[in-house]
Structure 1
Amino acid sequence: MAVRLLNAEVSDLCLGKPELICVAANASIADALAKLRASEDTHVGVWVCSGEIAGGSCRCVGKFSVADVTLFLCREENLADPFKALQSPVSDVLPKGLSVVRHLESNSSLWEAIGCILEGAQNLVVPIHSHLINNTSRKRFLNRQQSPSSCVHNNGRLYCWLTQEDVVRFLFNFIGVFSPIPTQTVESLGIIDPDVMAVAYNKPASSALEFFERAIKEQRPVAVMDEENRLIGEISPVALACCDETAAATIMALPAVDLMAHIDCGGTPLDLVQLVKMKLKESNLEGMLELMDEFRNSLTSPSSSSSCSSDDESSPGKGSWSCKSRNSPGRRSEAISCSPGSSLAAVMIQALSNRVSSVWVVEEDQTLAGIIPFTGILRAFLSIPLGKPL
């Protein structure tokens, strides 16, 4: 039964998936940001067409989010003039030498999809079967064929994309088929990865820039630790993707704990705005300051900005900010954790219900033992030890 399930077609996972919105790789970052906001999604596909690739067809070569823009603006060469940096092509923000997006045909097997993920793919681009499009969607499909936002390429095919979460959620729906693996502990399955990225809560957020870059490439969060090396929160690529452009200013001006506040409050807390401006001036980052002011001035009303404030008297990680997160699960700084003795099924429930791509593993004293990413969960289903090839 498990083998038959793994041979299912990936088209089974595409039911109900929206059409993939795309931007051209040579579009400016500013134009891509505008399209991203209009899509109401956290990511859009980046495509290269015609003679730019072999064969003259079109392919999705990456994905674009605010997180990519944030880290691009934090590069040393872009700090002085972020407005100029926003006119750079989208291709400049894509990870070099790493394919995080893979194309699959709709009749490819789930086994093939998992293989691509274990090789490093974060998103799988799959054509949508025409017979799966209802009448309303068919009209929208025909309209989108003339729209520069939709990814209708290669003989008029429409595409969606599947994430690692989609694959894990599909497997969870048939979890009983894989018994007894789901009832075993994550420790006994050998899927706890000790390779973690961590930053102290009181250290400059900019000191973790290399970690943030890696977090986006690998879709893993960065742990935020207290003085006793205990886990108090995380900064995930999904959370960064849900921030606005002012996150770059927060990263360059404040410690990691205040970046967590930025994430939880949907923007820089009001009582930290002046501190950010002061720090930017001290560092001669006038361009970053102008970008921050322009973004805040572009908001239609004060209510669309963050209205929460920090509470310096609270201990980090334990209600440090007086606001409640306005973000959906997976888009906040709260760290979701389990113990080495947790079952695989329990960890899957935690990850899927909280919309996170990894679950931290902590000992009884809250010290980190490692992390379990979606790739670790998939390896468990295939009974492949961590680090071994498919």
Structure 2
Amino acid sequence: MAVSLSQHEVSDLCLGRPPLKWLPESATVGDALSQLRANTVSENCIVVWSCDPAISSPFDYEECVCLGTVCMVDIICFLVREENLARPDQALHSPVSVLLPKVPGLVRLVQPNYSLSKALEILVVEGAEILIVPIGNTRKAMKKPATRREFCCLTREDLVRYFLNSVGLFSPLPACSISELKLIRTDYPSLNHTAPSSKAITALLRHVPVAVTAGGDTLIGEISPEALALCEEAAAPALATLYAGDLLAFLDSNAPTPFISHIRDMCPVALDAWSHDLTLSMLTASSEDSSEASDEEFTAGSPTGPLPPPAPPVLARARRSGSFSTSRGRRAEAVVCRAWSSLVAVMVQALAHRATHVWVCEDEECSLVGVVTFRDILGAFWDHINAPAVA
């Protein structure tokens, strides 16, 4: 097992992948937003370098430092700030450095000949989230001007996919339950469906999903970086003004009239600024097809009050199908499993839904007991590989 990891290099996982987009540190938040919106490939982040974009002379790696990466959720959480909601045009002219993580070591530039064993150590033991790997001929890459350097991005998901493809080498680990392996994390962030969505921002800034519950600990959905990214910057005023239960419906229903009305009531200056400066079609699109009854239902009882939380989507589906492998067709719907689910089953679930985590429920009512993340899964393989040999 360890031999196999040592024989493969991180560059092997970059084969066939498109180069990662990048920006100089002199770029603005608006530049990052434009890059991410135009990104049609699978990568959902861009890397920021300390390079001058006008540089055309050769340089080596030491002369150009990787400062970090920027994802759509970073921009959303930045725009949610009160001063930025009111003047998004000014916010977009802020330097991109305001979006970079303040915690060092989350993004690591590694050499293409690093072994997968070393990559696993960096992601599990050292706590990195993203590895930036030079692609192509290394010697040529070091002589390219800054505007032509190419890199690829590797995440924990890529390592999990590698282990799934090589799962036979790690028997009997993959067949063990996540409960037996003690992978269920109970220190997860959560919000009641009646709580303001803005309380999720602290976790979202760490790229951590937030469970949304009802009736105590019944899981009804999640507020995740991936779900918010699908709405792009339109998610910012919704995240700032809606309750958690309403935000789930917002993410799933493409911003219907009731939510636009509520956002306009709660944050009129912000919405006017956004519609003028950012042309957010999702929030200002014509709502002629929506009935007046929906508006009345939303505002009944309070001119700015939220709708009563809709029937829990995850729970409703679980009751109908009896399945605990829910679809990602709905942006806010959570992927769930049981404590007795095997490690390999959880890996398949997460990868199939492009989720970084799987929530763990204990009964048909989807009572939430914890979450399993990619870091937990990779940690299980790390411990297995480094376990002392049994005589």
TM above 0.5: yes
User: Partner of 1:316 in structure 2?
Assistant: 312
Q: AA paired with 1:189? A: L
How far apart are the structure 2 equivalents of 1:179 and 1:56? 42
Change (3 A) 1:313 1:113: closer
How far apart are the structure 1 equivalents of 2:280 and 2:182? 51
Between the two proteins, the alignment pairs up a number of residues equal to 349
Structure 1 spans left out of the alignment, 5+ residues: 132-137, 321-327, 386-390
TM-score normalised per structure 2: 0.79
User: Partner of 1:92 in structure 2?
Assistant: 98
User: Partner of 1:43 in structure 2?
Assistant: 45
Q: 2:137 aligns with which of 130, 135, 139?
A: 130
Q: 1:67 aligns with which of 73, 80, 83?
A: 73
User: Partner of 2:258 in structure 1?
Assistant: 271
**Offset of 1:234 from its aligned partner?**
0.8
**Offset of 1:60 from its aligned partner?**
2.5
**Offset of 1:233 from its aligned partner?**
0.7
Q: What secondary structure is seen at the aligned counterpart in 2 of 1:190?
A: coil
Q: Is contact 1:104–1:126 with CA below 8 Å preserved after alignment?
A: yes
TM-score normalised per structure 1: 0.80
User: Partner of 1:261 in structure 2?
Assistant: 249
Q: Is contact 1:246–1:292 with CA below 8 Å preserved after alignment?
A: no
Q: Is contact 2:86–2:273 with CA below 8 Å preserved after alignment?
A: no
Q: Which has the larger radius of gyration?
A: 2
Deviation >3 Å, runs of 4+: 145-148, 292-299, 306-314, 328-331
> How far does the alpha carbon of each residue in 1:162-195 deviate from its partner, in whole angstroms, 9 at most, with x for none?
1211111011001010000000111111111111
**Offset of 1:212 from its aligned partner?**
2.1
Change (3 A) 1:179 1:24: same
How far apart are the structure 2 equivalents of 1:9 and 1:331? 36
**Offset of 1:121 from its aligned partner?**
1.8
How far apart are the structure 1 equivalents of 2:84 and 2:280? 22
User: Partner of 2:21 in structure 1?
Assistant: 21
Q: 1:239 aligns with which of 219, 224, 227?
A: 227
Structure 1 vs Structure 2 CA RMSD: 3.4
> How far does the alpha carbon of each residue in 1:239-258 deviate from its partner, in whole angstroms, 9 at most, with x for none?
22222212111112111122
Q: Percent identity?
A: 39
Q: Is contact 2:200–2:223 with CA below 8 Å preserved after alignment?
A: no
> How far does the alpha carbon of each residue in 1:116-161 deviate from its partner, in whole angstroms, 9 at most, with x for none?
1112222211111339xxxxxx9xx9xxx7895xxx34xxxx2111
> How far does the alpha carbon of each residue in 1:22-69 deviate from its partner, in whole angstroms, 9 at most, with x for none?
111221111221122222252211111269xx9852233221122111
Q: AA paired with 2:190? A: A
1:1-390 paired onto structure 2 within 5 Å: 2-7=1-6, 8-41=8-41, 42-49=44-51, 57-118=63-124, 119-130=126-137, 148=147, 152-153=148-149, 158-214=150-206, 216=207, 220-265=208-253, 267-281=254-268, 286-292=269-275, 294-296=277-279, 314-317=310-313, 329=328, 332-364=331-363, 365-383=365-383
Change (3 A) 1:81 1:343: same
Change (3 A) 1:261 1:314: closer
How far apart are the structure 2 equivalents of 1:75 and 1:343? 42
Change (3 A) 1:343 1:49: same
**Offset of 1:94 from its aligned partner?**
1.3
Q: AA paired with 1:290? A: A
Change (3 A) 1:88 1:384: farther
> How far does the alpha carbon of each residue in 1:65-112 deviate from its partner, in whole angstroms, 9 at most, with x for none?
221111111224434322211110111011213332111111101011
Q: Is contact 1:61–1:99 with CA below 8 Å preserved after alignment?
A: no
